[in-house]
Amino acid sequence: MTRKFFGTDGIRGPVGSPQMSADFVLRLGWAAGRVLAPQGGGTVLIGKDTRISGYMFESALEAGFSAAGVNVQLLGPMPTPAIAYLTRVTHAQAGVVISASHNPYHDNGIKFFSAEGRKLPDETELRIEEAIAKPFVTVDSGSLGNAHRMADAAERYIAFCQASVAPGLKLDGLKLVLDCANGATYRIAPAVFSALGAQLTSLGVHPDGLNINQDSGSTHPQRLQQKVLELGAQLGIAFDGDGDRVLMVDRRGELVDGDELLFIIAMARKLRHALYGPVVGTQMSNLGLEQALGAHAIEFRRAQVGDRYVLAMLEESHGVLGGENSGHIICLDRTTTGDGIISALQVLEALNVAGRDLADVKAGMRKFPQVLVNVETRERVDLETPAIRAAVKTVEQRLDGRGRVLLRLSGTEPLVRVMVESEDADLTRQYAETIAEAVRTAALH
């Protein structure tokens, strides 16, 4: 069966749209309660990022779960991976995150974690969708779920992050700039890195409900790059709105993406004989990552785009490390899901052990020029349209095996993503625009 509401990363859309309205989220909470705790009782955790609509959806979810007889613990603004961790260690039935990740404030979304702190399987999401269509029946008043706030949620997660690296890791004297995107990491990330001794400057730590991801964070790292150069900092760290992605900036102000961070962590694991199974990337991972890992006899595999598919391939292949070039990195030997803070700490630990800085260590991987063009579409485009296939075939013939072409439909936005990579930057851009124009033309017909 095809899921009607759930996409690749939960349910997401503009606030006020049919599946991001207060009444729908009320029914979603009730339906999830009926599926995840069918006997009633039990507890779910609800966390959120800093969007103004989070208050509305938090109340709607709380009411829905209560009507289904499920207790709720409210965590307030917390990174998505923090909800996954706390769900697991508190033995809750599920965790719920109210967030649209890297999207602007006028979007929002709902993500679920299982009792083990993992994304729900497709079958469970389908059962929740089926339950949404059923009559809304409130349990007896004596069986209604109650709600409490978890007062020490932040402290527990901060301690977990600090415990994810060797006890001897010290960042004393490290001049570090953080950009928290005015999102869910705005309190926690500065606390983690300052406790380790870093000399910290923090950006994007004044959320107002509307400025999440606005000209900041991992999707807009320009301000961070400028600040690193201005202060003469050793490096910068950028998170996205819900804290499950991370990108870095080296001392030269150059952006270090998820592929390069994955390479750095993989090499550190290999040196410690702690890299098990293959490293897993996606169809979007740079060819340079595959070649750099191969040069060190490290197996690399590609999953579909989306952290759930990276995780599934890691579990199938008994791997511990995978991720996406967007900075969504999964360290299964540390936690159960992508975690920006945990991943950043793994990179800093690798640099500390190597006694080298970020600019030097990333040089071990040579990226191929890669161009991504997002083509906005009003309706779903058939990527097998003859004109699109002809454009792709022409480019692939010109690449002659010295690059890659990838087209895919976004799972969260009305976009077709056109990616081309090759050894020549100018030709790569030209090829990507050629295919993008074919997609735009097809979208008009």
Domains in the chain (CATH in brackets) are 11-151 (3.40.120.10), 171-252 (3.40.120.10), 257-367 (3.40.120.10), 370-443 (3.30.310.50)
Q: pTM of this prediction?
A: 0.90
Residues sharing a CB contact under 8 Å with residue 102, sequence separation 6 or more, in sequence order: 213, 217, 218, 219, 240, 241, 242, 245
List the structure tokens of 50. 């800093």
Closest CA to 332 of 349, 348, 317, 350: 317
For the four alpha carbons of 335, 289, 346 and 214, in that order, the dihedral sign comes to negative
pLDDT of residue 245: 97
pLDDT of residue 2: 72
- Secondary-structure breakdown of the chain: helix, strand, coil percentages, each rounded to the nearest 5: 40, 20, 40
Distance CA 321, CA 326 (A): 15
Pair 68, 144: CB distance under 8 Å: no
pLDDT of residue 410: 78
pLDDT of residue 411: 67
Query: What count of Cα atoms within 13 Å lies in the side-chain half-sphere of residue 307?
Result: 26
Task: Give the CA distances from residue 242 to residues 81, 89, 94, 195, 326, in Å, rounded to whole numbers and listed in that order.
Answer: 8, 20, 18, 21, 14
Residues sharing a CB contact under 8 Å with residue 254, sequence separation 6 or more, in sequence order: 225, 359
Query: What count of Cα atoms within 13 Å lies in the side-chain half-sphere of residue 103?
Result: 21
pLDDT digits (tens, 9 = 90+) for 115-153: 999 999 889 999 999 999 999 999 999 999 999 999 999
Sheet containing 246-250: give its strands across: 199-203, 175-179, 235-239, 246-250, 255-256
Element (H, E) at 48: strand 43-48
To the nearest 10°, the Cα dihedral for 265, 267, 269, 274? 150
pLDDT of residue 308: 87
Closest CA to 364 of 295, 425, 300, 280: 295
pLDDT digits (tens, 9 = 90+) for 177-213: 999 999 999 999 999 999 999 999 999 999 999 999 9
List the structure tokens of 247. 């990108």
Distance CA 332, CA 350 (A): 17
**Catalytic center residues:** 101
Q: Phi and psi of 246, rounded to 5°?
A: -145, 140
pLDDT of residue 24: 98
User: Which stretches in the chain have pLDDT values below 50?
Assistant: none
pLDDT of residue 3: 79
For the four alpha carbons of 67, 72, 74 and 75, in that order, the dihedral sign comes to negative
DSSP 369: P
